[in-house]
Amino acid sequence: MTETPISRTIRRLFAGGGAIGLTILALPAPAQEVAPKPVPRVEITGSNIRRSEAETASSVITVNRADIERSGKATVAELLQTLAVDNQGSVPTTFGNGFAAGASGISLRGLGAASTLVLLNGRRMAPYGLADDGQKQFTDLNVIPTDAVERVEVLKDGASAIYGSDAIAGVVNIILRRDFQGNTVRFSRGATNDWDGKRTNVAFTKGVGSLDTDRYNVLFSIEYKKFDEIWYRDRADRDWIGRNDLRRWGYSADQALGGTGAILPGTGTAGNAINGNVRNPADPTNYYNRGNLAGPGFARTFPGAACSNFTSHPQGDPGGGCLIDASMQYNQIEPKQENLSFFLRGTMQLDPALQLYSEFNWYTSQTDTATTPSSVSASVGFPGGPVNNAVVQLGANHPDNPYFGTAARIRYLAADVGPRKSSIDSNFLRWLGGAKGTHYGWDWDSSLLFSHNHVNNNQNGFLQRDVAFALLDPTPANIATAAANSPAYAALPLGTVWRIAENAGLNSPAVYAALSPTIGNRANTKIGQIDFKATREFSGIPWLAGNLGLALGTEFRHEMTELLPTTGTERGNVIGLGYSAYSGARNVFALYGEGLAPLPFNVEASAALRYDHFTDVGSSYTPKFGLKWTPVREFALRGTFARGFRAPSPAENGVGGLAAFSTAADPVRCALGVTNACNPASVALITSPNPNLSPERSKSYTLGVIWDPLPRTSISVDYWKIKRKNEINQEQVDAAIAAGSVARDPGSVSGIPGDPGQITAVLTRYVNSAQSKVRGLDVDARYNHRLPEAWGNATFDVKYTHIFEWLRTERDGTSREFAGTHGNCDVTNCTGTPADRVNMRFGWDRNNLRVSANVNYRGVLENRFFRGDPSGCAVTFANGADAPNGCELASFTTVDLVVRWKPQQRWELFGSVQNLFDKIAPLDPLTYGAQAYNPLDYEGARGRFYTLGARYSF
C-alpha cells in the first residue's frame, strides 16, 4: 500500500512506543466486518485543536523515543542542539564560564534562546535563573528526565498566536509519558579515548494502573547523571585544541589570542606574566619582565624570577615577556556536573467524561567550573561606570619591585592565588494540577501551574580590587580604602604586602583570605499560571467539506525574576568579573481563539488570534493563518503567515545592569599605527537596562511541500522567512567604539603622537534595533527499504537547513549580513551563523538488532564579523595574512555509531561511539566560548567517546 502524508505522520508520531499507537496495534483482528473505528484525535504542537491528521499547515519535527535512543546522545539537550534547525545563540552545557553556566538552551533559526519557547507537556516552565549573556532568559533543557520523555515536537515557525510571548522562532514541546505501565531500570557508563570525561547515567521508571481498566495511572521516574570534567591540558596532543599560544600555526604571540605574558615594546602594553611584567617609570611606553637581569633602570634584580623557574613553555617573545599557555593549563573543555531529576504524574479517570491529573518535576544539579587565575589589571564596570584596573602598581617600597624606590605598574597573573572556580547549584521544581473532560459537546482542559528555579553561585580565586591595590601598593589612601571595606584586611598587620611570583611562599593564609574571599550570588525565577481552554467541532456549516474545529482559551500568569549581584561587583571591586543584576515582576493576561476549516477540493484552512496584556509593556494582538492543499494522497502543499512578539525580560527593561566582556579592535589606535590595536582584544562592556523598550515584533512566512514519491518514502521541503522588528540588543560594540562611547586609560600609551590610550570599557545600553531578517530552506527526507531474505530493514533519514540570509539592520540604516560568517559575536559564544547544517542517519534493523550511523555536518564560516566587513578578516596571521585558511573556518563533520540489541524480551543492551573517526575540531581563533575551536564542534575537542549500557524491563 502507498503511505500517505497523513498516515506517514501518524506512524512517525507513534513510533517508539506511544501509548495510543500501541493500543491501536494491539487490537485483535475482527471476526466479522464491522464499521471502522474513528481515527484517534491528537493534539499537535502549534494548535489547540485535536485532529486526526498530524501534518498541519505548519512544519513540525517529531523526535520520538526511538529517535532519541538511535542518536546515542546522553541528554535531550545534546540531541536538540545537534538538530539542523538549531543555530547561533544556543547555550551548551559545556560553556562552563558563561553567564548561564550549568544550563543548556536551544536557539531555533539563530534568533537566540530567548526567542525559542520551550514547553513541557504544552505548558511553560520557569526560566533558568541566570540569563544568557546577562540578558536573555531561556528554559534549561537539562531539567528534562530522559527516560520519562515520550517524544519532542519542534514547531519550526512562529507560534505567538497560540502560546504568546517568546515563540518568535518556534516552539520546542517536550511531551512526557502519560500512561506507562511496568518497570524499567537503565544504566550506562561512558568515557573518552583518553579515559576521562566519564559519564554515568542511572534511571528508574515505574508505571502502575491502566486508565482503561483501573481508571488511574501513576508514573514515577527518577534519573541520576554525573559528568566528569575534561581539562584542556589533557588534550595537548590534539593540535590547537585549548591552546592560547598559536605561534606553531602562524599566529603571533603578541596578539590577544597569543601566549599569556607577551610584551609589546613601544606600545605601553604587556600581557600578564606568571612572574610579573613591570613598566619602566622613566619610559611609560615599555614593560620589562621581572626575570630580566638587565632590565633598563632596574634598581633590583630577581634571579629567582627567571622564566624557566615557572614554566617549560616554549619562549621566544621578541619583547622579552615570559610566555605560558594559561588556557591550556587551567581551563576546561567541559565542567563537572552532577544532577538528579524526578518526575511524578498521576491521572484519575473519574468517569468517561472527566479526568483529573497532576504532575510534579524536581531537578537539582551542581556544576563546578574552573578557569585561569585572575590577572591584577583586568578593568571592569558596574552601573556607576568603568573601573580602571590598568593603573595597578607595585609600591615604591614593595620588596618585589625591580624599580625599588619608584612605584611601577605591574602586569601579573596570580597563579599563587590559584584558578578561578565556580560552584553553581540549581534547583528547579514545577507542579501542575488540572482537570479535563467532555461536556456539552466541548472538550475542555484547565490547570493550575507553579514553577520555580533557584540558583546559587559560589566563587573562589577572584581578587578584591581594594585589597589587591593596598597589598601591592600600601599607600595611606589604599590602606584606608581596603580597611574600610574588608575586615579581613583590617586584621592584617599595617602595611602588609602581597609577595608575588617566586616569593609567594612568604604570604600567610590570612593574606589570601583577605585578597580572595569566597564570593557569590543567587537568582530566582517564578511562574504562577491558571488556564482554561476548550475545543469542539461544528457540523453542517455551508461551504465547508467537513466539520469546523474551534478552540477558545484564556490564561493568567505571574512572572517574577531576580538576580542579585555577585558580592563586590556592585561597586566594581572584583578584578576581572563583570556586574550582572536584575529584578522585575509582571502579570500577563491572555485570550485566544483558533479555527480549523476543511474546504472543498481538499483544502484545509486554519486561523488563530491571541490577545496578551503585560502590566509592564502593554498589549499585543498576534494572528496566524495557514493553508494546506492535498490534491492527491501522496502530495500536499502548505503555507503559513504569523505575527509574533517577545516581551522584554527584566534583565532588559527592569532594575539592574550588566558589566561584561566582549571582543573588539580599536580603530582609533589602529589608524595611528598601534598595530596590536588592529586585532580583536577583550574589552569591558557596560550595558544599562532601558525601561522604554518596546516588545520585539515579528512576521513569519512558510511555504512547503510534502511528497511521498515511493512507498516507504517521504520528503518535505519548506521555505521560511522571519522578519523581526524592534529587536532588543546591546548596541553594537564596534559602533559604540566608533561613536566614542568608551573609557580609556591615558596611561597606557605608545610613543606615537596622539595615542589616546588603551580602551578599558565600552558604554552601551539595550535598544530596539531596526530589524533582523532571516530566511532559509528546510529539507526532511526519509526512506525505508525492506531487504530481501529476511535481512531486515535499511533506513535513511536526512534533515538539512540552509540559511540564505541573516540580515540585521540598525536604526541608522546600516546593515550586517551574518549568514555563513562568524558573527554575530555580540551573542553567546561567538559561534557564528553556519549557512548549512545537516543531520543524516543510516540505519539497519533485523529482529532484535538495530544499528545506526549518525552524521552531523556544520558548514564553512567566513572568519569575519559580518559579510563584506570593511575591516577585513577578523583575525590575521603573524605575517598579516588572513587567518585561518584565507579567512575561512573549515566545515566540520562527525559520525556517531549506535548499536542496540535485545537478547531477551526483558533485556536490552546498547552502546555507542561518538565521533567515530576521532575528528579534530577546526582551528577557530575568534570564538570566546571555547579556546581555539568553535563550541559547535565540541565533539572534535573532546575526542572519540564510548558508551555502554543496559535496560531491564519487568
124, 358 Cβ separation under 8 angstroms: no
Region 767-780: mean pLDDT is: 91
pLDDT at position 927, please? 86
How many helices, marked H, and strands, marked E, lie in the chain?
A: 14, 46
364, 425 Cβ separation under 8 angstroms: yes
User: pLDDT tens digit string along 426-461?
Assistant: 999 999 999 999 999 999 999 999 999 999 999 999
Region 859-875: mean pLDDT is: 94
User: pLDDT tens digit string along 926-953?
Assistant: 888 889 999 899 999 999 999 999 999 9
Mean pLDDT lowest for which of 90-99, 456-465, 834-843?
90-99
Distance from the Cα of residue 901 to its chain's centroid: 34
pLDDT range class, residue 9, cuts 50, 70, 90: very low
Region 393-415: mean pLDDT is: 97
pLDDT range class, residue 39, cuts 50, 70, 90: very low
The answer, yes or no, to whether residue 19 has pLDDT greater than 50, is: no
User: pLDDT tens digit string along 240-278?
Assistant: 999 988 999 998 876 655 668 999 899 888 999 999 999
Q: Please name which of 74, 97, 86 lies closest in space to residue 144, comparing C-alpha atoms.
A: 74
pLDDT at position 135, please? 81
30 vs 657, higher pLDDT: 657
Q: Please name which of 360, 370, 363 lies closest in space to residue 339, comparing C-alpha atoms.
A: 363
- How high does pLDDT run on average in the chain? 89
638, 158 Cβ separation under 8 angstroms: no
Region 900-918: mean pLDDT is: 95
> Dihedral (C-alpha) 863, 868, 871, 875: value to the nearest 10 degrees?
10
Region 185-202: mean pLDDT is: 96
Share of the chain above pLDDT 70, in %: 94
Is the N-terminal amide bond of 824 cis, ω within 30° of 0?
yes
2 vs 937, higher pLDDT: 937
pLDDT at position 677, please? 79
Region 386-398: mean pLDDT is: 93
The answer, yes or no, to whether residue 716 has pLDDT greater than 60, is: yes
Q: Which residues of 554-590 are buried (b: 16+ CB within 10 A; e: fewer)?
A: bbebebbbbbbbbbbbbebbbbbbbbbbbbbebebeb
pLDDT range class, residue 810, cuts 50, 70, 90: confident
pLDDT at position 15, please? 35
- Beta-carbon contacts of 855 under 8 Å, excluding residues fewer than 6 positions away, are 838, 839, 840, 841, 842, 893, 894, 895, 896
The answer, yes or no, to whether residue 53 has pLDDT greater than 60, is: no
Region 741-745: mean pLDDT is: 79
39 vs 106, higher pLDDT: 106
Mean pLDDT lowest for which of 519-523, 629-633, 798-802, 924-928?
924-928
pLDDT at position 680, please? 75
The answer, yes or no, to whether residue 311 has pLDDT greater than 50, is: yes
498 vs 579, higher pLDDT: 498
Q: Structure pTM?
A: 0.87
Region 583-594: mean pLDDT is: 95
User: pLDDT tens digit string along 481-493?
Assistant: 999 999 999 999 9
User: pLDDT tens digit string along 353-377?
Assistant: 999 999 999 999 999 999 999 999 9
